[in-house]
Amino acid sequence: MKNPKSLLAILAIMLGTSVISSCQKTKVTAKDGIEYTYIKEGSEKAPNGDYLLYHLEIKTANDSVIYSTVDQPFPGYLMANDSLPANNGMDEIFLGLKKGDSIAFESTAKIIFGPNFPAFLNEDDVVKVNLGAFEIMDEMAMQDFYTKTLEAENVKRAERAKVLVVEEGQKIEEYAAEKGLDVQKTENGLYYVIEAEGTGDAISPGTTMYVNYAGYLLDGTLFDTSYEEIAKENNIYNPQRPYEPLPVNVGMGQVIPGWDEGLMLLKKGSKAKFLIPSPLAYGENGAGGLIGPNSILIFDVEVTDVQK
């Protein structure tokens, strides 16, 4: 694990929550003048190279949560390093954290987040922060904690995916009925319509298929395509990229599961529509841009060539 160059990077990524009780002691940072209160003060400083785990929750002045790790698998953490400079008040607070600290403070969005504060806030909007450091771990313990937490989260994610496949399957079936699509469904939950059968042998894993495609959200928004004309019609044309069939080594995990499974059903010359629930697409993380978390995706695909 790498030591972050900026504690503000940790603030933006690792989020959490802390328990608040009565006030005990108040300090003010030398930089930015942040007044912070110790609800509870710890005593154990993390040795250099060890990791300090913390909970963090950030709210608006009206107590609407902006960031939190309440629903996240991992708490915040930082590697102790006495040589790191405190470039701002937030750095001072994080560099001074001790195990057992429970701290509450508020300041402006610009001071808490720096210049990259959330777009829905003004720089002078008040932001509330609760911060609590609860554990110190050396490298080996941290790796073990990370591995076990990741394994537990993967189990939970798999269970959530099973539920989503069913729930999103109902939405896909409603969409198909509305559009008059005669869909078929695989055991894994992929919905598809083969519009042109194609010719040639059945596809086996490892085969390279060349695929033209247009990808849409359920509301009809086009997010990507290999067709130049469709890109221009939908105002997403990019002159810097080639518009040509995409080579896919199918059945090898190089593409989303819905594509891997769907393409194995096709042949050279096949045309099809894939209606893919999010666990078989980009899942809970999404893919940035237009593809948010738990997005159902629809693809029109055409296999232009097959090479074994």
Which tokens go with 178? 């509305």
Confidence of residue 11 (pLDDT cuts 50, 70, 90): very low
| CATH 3.40.630.10 describes domain 162-307 | no
Q: How many CB atoms lie within 10 A of CB 38?
A: 17
Candidates 3.10.50.40, 1.20.58.1000, 1.10.150.20, 1.20.1730.10; CATH matching 7-137: 3.10.50.40
| Confidence grade of residue 308 (pLDDT, cut at 50, 70, 90) | confident
**pLDDT tens column, 18-37:** 333 444 699 999 999 999 99
pLDDT(13) > 70: no
3-state secondary structure 216-283: EECCCCEEEECCHHHHHHCCCCCCCCCCCCEEEECCCCCCCHHHHHHHCCCCECCEEEEEECHHHCCC
Provide the pLDDT for residue 69. Answer: 75
Summarize pLDDT for 239-249 with one digit per residue, the tens.
Answer: 999 999 999 99
Per-residue pLDDT, 136:
97
Q: Which residue has the higher pLDDT, 237 or 19?
A: 237
How would you class 60 by CB atoms within 10 Å of its CB: exposed for 0-12, middle for 13-18, buried for 19 or more? middle
| Mean pLDDT score of the chain | 91
Per domain, the residue ranges of the chain are 7-137, 162-307
The per-residue pLDDT for 23 is 45
- Location of structure tokens 């959200």: 217
DSSP letter string over 109-175? HHHHHGGG--TTS-TTSEEEEEEEEEEEE-HHHHHHHHHHHHHHHHHHHHHHHHHHHHHHHHHHHHH
Predicted pLDDT of residue 8 = 40
Confidence of residue 12 (pLDDT cuts 50, 70, 90): very low
Q: Hey, what amino acid is at 146?
A: Y
Cα separation, 95 vs 27, in Å, equals 14
Rounded to an integer, the average pLDDT of 54-83 is 91
Percent pLDDT > 90 in the chain is 86
pLDDT at 289 over 90: no
pLDDT at 16: 37
290 Rama class: left (phi>0) / alpha (psi -120 to 50) / beta: alpha
Cα angle vertex 187, ends 181, 188, to 5°?
A: 90
Query: What is the per-residue pLDDT across 259-271, written as a single tens digit (0 to 9) for each?
Result: 999 999 999 999 9
pLDDT confidence of residue 14? 40
